A and B are shown apart, each in its own frame.
Chain A
Amino acid sequence: MDILTILFYLVTSVIIISSMSLVIVSNTVHAALLLVLIFFNSAILWLTLKAEFLAIVLVLVYVGAVLVLFLFVIMLLDIPVKKKSSNKLYLLFSVITSFIMFAELYMIIFYHDFSNEVTTNVASNLNNTYEIGYKLFTQYIFSFEITAFILLVAIIAAIAINLTQRERSLRQDPGKQILENKDSRLKVIKGDEL
């Protein structure tokens, strides 16, 4: 067994075991930390497939930003740790569904028999980041711009969702206070109008 085989089995077994425990764990902080472990091991797996740029992006952007955001939200909300729902029907149903899906995928993979595919390693003198960048800024430049726009929309949506005023808040609004004048606050009522 060469070192790559040992690394593959080690990394994939860590990912599978920790994803199974992520699915059944009830503490959300533990789940987020397990997700960190899964993403880190996936980055190692991507490195064995010679995708260095995406591996480091996965660690920096996903583990560094998205999962920290998850942990931030978990600790901000202070969710009470509850026991799992004791409904065994859903567990049975989920196991059956995922088992059927896996069996079908397995049959498709072995029907096509990908085991004879070998990588041809053309243009290996260019590094991975250069190749992705070249493709990204020539052929997929409009998709790249749309991605930037999607991120802008996500920023605006995330702010707009949480920027609602509380209904019974006692906060003062200086703009409204300045705009008030005597006529809007005082009203002279004659005696016969009562």
Chain B
Amino acid sequence: MITMTHYLVFSALLFCISIAGIFINRKNILLLLMSIELMLLSVNTNFIVFSHYSSDITGQVFVFFILAVAAAESAIGLAIIVSLFRIRNSLEINLINKLKG
């Protein structure tokens, strides 16, 4: 019998794996963007689980909004990556220091 705890533990595990992915992938900014997509996916799964077990459709409406915002975010992120690759000819994160932060 699958209970709500199973889904929540799965979602937490997916979130923690993608947090580790952001730390590990310092050579490639594209993989970092993919890890962010994975984090958003685990958050969406959490929303849907709570929506299902409390019989309230509002959680799924919020997942719809999150999907739209994530699509916009990845479009802008990929545009930034393309223009960054054009001037730096590399995608390594530790070489991106134009802002001198």
Contact = CB atoms under 8 A, between A and B. Distances in A.
Contacts of A70: 30, 33-34, 74, 78
B20 A164 contact: no
B1 A154 contact: no
Interface on chain A toward B: helix, strand, loop, or mixed SS? helix
B34 A22 contact: yes
Contacts of B67: 54, 57-58, 61-62
Contacts of A19: 14, 17-18, 21, 38
A69 B41 CA distance: 17
A154 B28 CA distance: 23
Given A70-B34, A162-B82, A90 B49 contact: no
Interface in A144-174: 147, 150-151, 153-155, 157-159, 161-162, 164
B59 to A, nearest CB: 9
Contacts of B14: 15-16, 19
Given A84-B27, A109-B8, A157-B76, A54 B65 contact: no
Nearest to B35: A23
A26 B71 CA distance: 24
Q: Give the size category of A's interface with B.
A: 35 or more
A37 to B, nearest CB: 12
Nearest to B33: A70
B96 interface: no
Interface residues of B, number: 69
Interface string A7-31: 0100010011001101110101001
B72 to A, nearest CB: 3
Nearest to A62: B67
A2 B67 CA distance: 32
Given A102-B13, A102-B16, A119-B53, A164 B23 contact: no
A161 B51 contact: no
B8 A114 contact: yes
Q: Indicate the member of B3, B45, B67, B78 with the most A CB atoms within 10 Å.
A: B78
Contact of B34 (A35, A54, A118, A132): A35
Given A46-B48, A77-B82, A162-B83, A106 B12 contact: yes
B100 interface: no
B68 interface: yes
12 contacts: A16-B17, A19-B14, A23-B25, A42-B45, A49-B48, A66-B75, A70-B74, A85-B27, A91-B23, A114-B8, A150-B72, A151-B71
Interface of B: 1-10, 12-28, 30-31, 33-35, 37-38, 41, 44-45, 48-49, 51-55, 57-58, 60-61, 63-65, 67-76, 78-83, 85, 91
